[in-house]
Amino acid sequence: MTVQDTSTTASKPAHRLKTGAEFKASLDDGRNIWIGKRKLDKVTDEPALGAGVDLLAEMFDDQFKPEFEDATTYIDPQSGEIVSRAWQVPTTIEELADRRKMIEYTSLKTAGTFGRPPDLSPAIVAGLMAYQDVFKQKKSMIDGCNPDFAENIEAYMDFGRNTNLTASESLAGPQTDRSNPKAAEMAFLRVTKAQADGIYVSGAKTVGSIAAQANDIFFTNLGGLTTTPPEACVWGAVPINADGITMISREMVSQPGANKFDHPVSSMGEEADQFIVFDNVFVPKERIFNLGDPDGMSWYGRATVFAHWHVLTRMAVKSELFVGAGQMVLDVLGTGKIPAVQQMLGELIQYAQTLRAFVIAAEAKATQLASGVVTPDVSMLTAGRLYSIEHYPRIIHILQEMCGQGLVMRFGKDAFENPEIGHYLNDLLPGHGVSAMQKELLMNFIWDMTSGSLAGRVALFENVNSSPAPRLRARLFDEVSREAFVDQVKTIAGMDW
Ligand SMILES: Cc1cc2nc3c(=O)[nH]c(=O)nc-3n(C[C@H](O)[C@H](O)[C@H](O)COP(=O)(O)OP(=O)(O)OC[C@H]3O[C@@H](n4cnc5c(N)ncnc54)[C@H](O)[C@@H]3O)c2cc1C
């Protein structure tokens, strides 16, 4: 991608945006990816991955459309160029709200089924920018390589912004025997060699959502051992086609190539999760953000603040889709006057309003850090994320229940258009004020969102992708100060201890 000078053709500034075609071309880089017996020549050779890439490419093209330009782009104050909003680092509450527009855009574009759209990993880099002053103080604790972490964080932000980069982020380690520290240790990504211009790392990362469809991988280790050995205390980023990286894809769960009527959501493909093996992968010095420092690792929770805000906002957007779909079910089935059904929709609305309220609260209580970066309130985010995953299965269940047989008795476009049987379906299955086909399209949408294999993977993703519920409760225990509440109790009860 080259900087586009549009000054002669229009009054718009130059931009640093990729088109969809440029994004697709950037993935044709010899990356080493396997599905079962097959090694793919190109990531787009696998239909489900290819459909997902097409959807991502649409997002890149949308950057150039007037109706999406505000949500997806902004003017970089330093360069004066138009850049992707994914790489915006908020320094005011207003900029935080502006950055949220991008999350809402990518969430709607994927119906919330991509948890790692192109604006997710930039949110982690923004989180590192927020604590740049901390990383400025840190030094490499592995002999032979001495990166400047703070400088590298800023350089990576510039690199991502200037190249409209898509990165995956992989933190979790391979699932092994969790009772055996040695097994956990084996699974860590670790430094095998350090030299002046960089390090070599070996090990594996999982589950790398969207890695196969991205340009870079942003990695670190997470959890597993009480004390992480220095050689496993590493944060860095490398191109996904770097020598020594092998991706092994899980089985596909979407329905690429299916008729859009039959599968309105799962026909759009998926972000596939990858098992990513690192075999002596070289990480240049400029792409290292922590090296050998266990304390540096402990900043992970704080640095993911924007990523967790992304997760919660996407859940809020998705919950609103559930409300919209639920309302339409009542409309087309004519069940909206039944009090019990109204209660069901009421519960979907409660879920959506509560998630929205957590997003608003996290932004309203945002703080400006020493770095100047404005970050959403972590305790509101954690409580909101916990609420979102605890109630998700019930919300899915309610939406399914509202649909009754409609969710199962779906026949597909071919059946409706078949002259032998289509007239039966058309005549016998209309809804309230809508044709049988219109009613089925709604049910097909809800099936893809709640019940098909894509929905199954998404439900698993929501539950654990950025920590399962027990860990979120532990975070609340650690992060939310209770002193003021204790004092209130003491005051009311007259306790002087
Ligand atoms: C569809 C999907 C996509 C994902 N995408 C990504 C991604 O893009 N990047 C990424 O880094 N990760 C990703 N993950 C991985 C996710 O971060 C992990 O699944 C999560 O951190 C839990 O770790 P684990 O699966 O290794 O669970 P394990 O450590 O194997 O534990 C299994 C279960 O035991 C319980 N448990 C274990 N330890 C504790 C503890 N200390 N406290 C409380 N409960 C505990 C939890 O219920 C946990 O789910 C994805 C996961 C899924 C399912």
Nearest CA to ligand 1 atom 17: 465
240 closest CA partner among 269, 218, 261, 222: 218
Our CA angle for 339, 342, 344, nearest 5°, is 115
Q: Answer whether residue 8 shows pLDDT above 60.
A: no
Could you tell me if 139 and 146 are in contact, meaning their C-beta atoms sit under 8 angstroms apart? Answer: yes
- Ligand 1 proximity of 220 Cβ (cutoff 6 Å): no
Q: Are residues 289 and 328 in the same domain?
A: no
How far is ligand 1, taken at its centre, from the CA of residue 375, in Å?
25
Assign 3-state DSSP to the chain and report helix, strand, coil percentages, each to 5.
50, 15, 35
- 3-class DSSP state of 197: coil
Measured in residues, the chain has a length of 497
Beta strand spans in 185-262 (E): 190-195, 198-209, 216-219, 234-239, 245-249
456 Cβ inside 6 Å of ligand 1: no
**C-beta 274 within 6 A of ligand 1:** no
d(C-alpha 373, C-alpha 304), whole Å: 13
Give residue 12's pLDDT: 84
Residue 1 lies in a domain: no
Whether 464 lines ligand 1, by a CB cut-off of 6 Å, is yes
Q: Could you tell me the distance, in angstroms and rounded to a whole number, from the CA of residue 469 to the centre of ligand 1?
A: 10
Number of domains present in the structure of the chain: 2
Rounded percentage of the chain residues whose pLDDT exceeds 90: 89
User: What CATH number has the domain bearing residue 398?
Assistant: 1.20.140.10
Indicate whether 344 belongs to any domain.
Answer: yes
67 and 151 within one domain: yes
Domain of 220, CATH number, reads 2.40.110.10
For residue 144 the two structure tokens come to 């032979």
Beta carbons of 452 and 266 less than 8 angstroms apart: yes
pLDDT band at 9 (very low <50, low <70, confident <90, very high): low
pLDDT mean over 293-318 = 94
HEC assignment per residue over 299-357: CHHHHCHHHHHHHHHHHHHHHHHHHHHHHHHHHHHCCCCCHHHHHHHHHHHHHHHHHHH
Instruction: Identify whether residues 244 and 257 lie together within a single domain.
Output: yes
> Percent of the chain, pLDDT > 70?
97
Rounded Cα distance between 399 and 77, Å, is: 45
* 315 and 295 in a common domain: no
Span 377-387, mean pLDDT? Answer: 97
- In this model, does residue 224 exceed pLDDT 60? no
Alpha-carbon gap, residue 291 to 293, rounded angstroms: 6
Identify which has the larger pLDDT, 8 or 410: 410
What's the mean per-residue pLDDT of the chain?
95
pLDDT digits (tens, 9 = 90+) for 168-219: 999 888 888 878 877 777 778 999 999 999 999 999 998 899 999 999 999 9
Q: What is the pLDDT of residue 185?
A: 73
Which tokens sit at 45? 């050779």
User: In this structure, is residue 200 part of a structural domain?
Assistant: yes
Q: Are residues 280 and 339 in the same domain?
A: no
337 plus 291 within the same structural domain: no
pLDDT of 7 above 80: no
Q: Say which residue, 291 or 207, is predicted with more confidence.
A: 291
Of the residues 252, 267, 299, the one at which a domain ends: 299
pLDDT for residue 307: 97
| pLDDT tens readout for residues 241-285 | 999 999 999 999 999 999 999 999 999 999 999 999 999 999 999
Asked if 308 and 293 sit in the same domain, the reply is: no
Query: From the CB of 170, is ligand 1 less than 6 Å away?
Result: yes
Let me know: does 209 contact 168? Beta carbons within 8 Å: yes
CA 410 to chain centre: 31
* Residue 43 located in a structural domain: yes
Report yes or no on 188 lying in a domain: yes
Is ligand 1 within 6 A of the CB of residue 457?
Answer: yes
Give the span between the Cα atoms of 184 and 234, in whole angstroms. 16
User: Which residue's alpha carbon is nearest to atom 51 within ligand 1?
Assistant: 465
* C-alpha triplet 455, 306, 275: angle, nearest 5°: 50
Task: Name the more confident of 497 and 452.
Answer: 452
Specify the higher pLDDT residue, 149 or 294.
Answer: 149
Does residue 273 fall inside a structural domain? yes
Same domain, 246 and 207: yes
Mean pLDDT along residues 100-127? 98
The answer to whether residue 496 is domain-embedded is no
Domain boundary, last residue among 249, 267, 299: 299
- Residue 58 pLDDT > 90: yes
Which whole number is the average pLDDT over 27-40?
97
Residue 82 is inside which H or E element, if any?
strand 82-84
Is there a single domain that holds both residue 255 and residue 342? no
Element containing residue 72 per DSSP (H, E): helix 66-72
10 pLDDT band (50/70/90 cuts)?
Answer: low
From the CA of 462, how far away is ligand 1's center (Å)? 11
Q: State the pLDDT at residue 181.
A: 73
Which helix H or strand E contains 61, and what residues bound it?
helix 47-62
Q: Which of 2-16, 187-201, 439-453 has the lowest mean pLDDT?
A: 2-16
Burial 352-374, CB ≥16 within 10 A → b, else e = beebbebbebbbeebeebebebb
User: Is 3 inside a domain boundary?
Assistant: no
Pocket flag, ligand 1, residue 46 (CB < 6 Å): no
272 Cβ inside 6 Å of ligand 1: no
Same domain, 62 and 180: yes
Mean pLDDT (whole number) for 312-334: 98
Identify whether residues 270 and 310 lie together within a single domain. Answer: no
Give mean pLDDT, residues 313-322: 98
| Banded model confidence at residue 480, pLDDT cuts 50, 70, 90 | very high
> How much is the pLDDT for 298?
87
pLDDT level of residue 330 (50, 70, 90 thresholds): very high
The number of the ligand 1 atom at minimal distance from the alpha carbon of 467 is 21
pLDDT of residue 4: 55
Domain closes at, from 246, 266, 299: 299
Give the DSSP H or E segment for 245. strand 245-249
Give the integer Cα–Cα distance in Å for 158 and 185: 34
Residue 413, domain extent? 304-486
Is 250 found in the same domain as 125? yes
